[in-house]
Amino acid sequence: MTVASTAVEFRSVSFRHVSGRPVLSEMSFTLSKGEALALVGRSGSGKTTVLKLINRLFEPSAGEVLVEGVPTTAWDPIRLRRRIGYVIQEVGLFPHLTVARNVGLVPTLEGWEPERIRVRVRELLRMVGLSPERFGDRYPHELSGGQRQRVGVARAVAADPPLVLMDEPFGALDPITRAELQQEFRDLQMQLKRTLVFVTHDIPEACLLGSRIGLVQDGRLVECLTPEEFLRSEHPEVQAVLRTLRVSNRYDR
């Protein structure tokens, strides 16, 4: 039953909000290991819900979400989530813990030896471009927004999860920092070949980091194409999104 090369599969997944409002309807797609899927679409289209269905913060109202061939509802939620790194837009760093302890949290929960955690944390901080000596003992409120995002990324990949979910990970940054982080993250991704699902409003980011781009509209996956195909797509919804994104690009920044 387990399909070794499949990381994530949605089988006609529908999801209703507790209020009964339908959020996703009949969504299906398959993501192989090592692929990076960028989810784009307007706010409220259901992109974040897709991520939360994968790490079982939500459970599907109908259909199945499979991670490594096993339905999320059959996974022990704790074990499932420990295998999935999650970066959210608000970062969600723990304000009462230092940067080093934030980054080392999942390894701590997994019961790693303190020395191994220390080494791993130093390695991760360097990887995201933060000096362990300067930043390890600081608290999140002593960091800039960009530094916090870096810590958030480092924390998400600390225990080397095979799957990483990111919800507008670079959304709140200034354009220069964002471009730097995107480039750095791309280099990392090239080395580590993790499976990645991320939500973005930024088409250049989707093309840079994604091996495929999925357009979500009204809870449906209307297109799922490579970046080249996506930019050339004649699909009216893709055209509409490209247009609106261009317009927002011109005026927002």
Partner 1 sequence: MEFIQFFVLHGDEVLRLTGEHLVLVGLSTGGAVLIGIPLGVGLARNPRWRRPVLGLVNVIQTIPSLALFAILIPLPVIGGIGAGTALIALVLYSLLPVVSNTVAGLTGIDPAVKEAAVAMGMTNQQLLWRVELPLALGVILTGVRLATVIGVGLATIAAAIGAGGLGMFIFRGLAMLDSRLILAGAIPAATMALAADLILGRVEQRFGARPTA
* Contacting residues toward partner 1, per CB under 8 A: 55, 57, 77-82, 84, 86, 88, 90-96, 105-106, 109, 139-142, 148, 155-156
Return phi, psi of residue 165, to 5°.
-115, 135
- Closest to partner 1 by CB, 140 or 210: 140
CB of 87 to partner 1, least distance (A): 9
Closest distance of CB 122 from partner 1, Å: 20
Burial environment of residue 4 by CB neighbours within 10 A (0 to 12, 13 to 18, 19 or more)? exposed
Identify which of residues 28 and 98 has a Cβ nearer to partner 1 in the complex. 98
- What is the C-alpha separation between 64 and 67, in angstroms, rounded? 10
Give me the least distance between CB of 173 and partner 1, in Å please. 16
Specify the residue, 20 or 95, whose C-beta has the smaller distance to partner 1: 95
DSSP secondary structure code for residue 131 in this structure: -
Least distance (Å) from partner 1 to the CB of residue 214? Answer: 21
Using the minimum distance from each CB to partner 1, give the nearer residue, 167 or 205. Answer: 167
Residue 67 sits at φ, ψ, to 5 deg, of -115, 120
Provide the minimum distance between the beta carbon of 158 and partner 1 in the complex, in angstroms, as a whole number: 9
Please identify, using beta-carbon distances, which residue of 101 and 220 lies nearer to partner 1. 101
When the beta carbons of 103 and 203 are compared against partner 1, the nearer one is 103
Amino acid at 109: L
- Within 10 angstroms of residue 175's Cβ, the number of other Cβ atoms is 11
Output the six-digit token pair for 8. 């994530």
- Angstrom distance (rounded) from CA 209 to CA 143: 26
Find the shortest distance in angstroms from Cβ 91 to partner 1: 7
**Residue 214's CB: how many other CB atoms inside 10 A?**
24
Q: β-strands 62-67, 70-71: how paired?
A: antiparallel
